[in-house]
Structure 1
Amino acid sequence: MQEAGAAASAGNWQQAEALWQRVRQLAPAHPQALYSLGVHAYQRGDTQAAIAYRDGARATSPADPMIVLTIAVVKQAQGDVDGE
C-alpha cells in the first residue's frame, strides 16, 4: 500500500493503479484500494468505473467523509446534481 501511495504522490499513475489492483487481489474489499482506484478511474475520465470503485469503498467504510465527498464530485461531473 505504501508503494502505491508513493507512486501516486510521484505522479506515476499507471504504476500506482497497478499496485492498488494487486492490493485488491489480496483484499477485494480494501477501502483505500477501492477509493484510490476510483480516483485513478476519474482522472482517466472513466466516471462509471470511478463510481463503481467508490461505491465499493463506501460499502466497506460508510462513515468515511472523503469517500462520500468524492462520490458526490464524480456524480456532479456526470451531471447528477441530485446524487442518484
Structure 2
Amino acid sequence: MGEIVKKEIFIDRPYITLGQLLKEESIISSGGQAKWYLREHTVNINDEPDNRRGRKLYAGDNVEVPDVGLFFIRSKQDSE
C-alpha cells in the first residue's frame, strides 16, 4: 500500500462537508458514494469518529482517513 498522505486543504468558504472533502481528494469518485464509504470506514475528525457525510469541516479541523491520510483544513484567507 502507498504512503499515508498528510495534506493541508485550503477552503475559500466558511466550511466544506466531509462528503465534499472525500470527493475532492479522490477518495471516492462521486458524492453519492460518501454514505457507503462512511458506513464501511471509520473517519476521525479532531480525533473523534464521525460518519456523517454532511459534517461541516471548518478551518482548524483535522480529518484522518485510515489507510489514506491526514487532512488539515485551513482557510485560504489565512494563507494569503
After TM superposition, is the score higher than 0.5?
no
TM-score of the pair, normalised by structure 1: 0.27
Higher strand share: 2
Higher relative contact order (CA 8 A, sep 6+): 2
Higher helix share: 1
TM-score of the pair, normalised by structure 2: 0.27
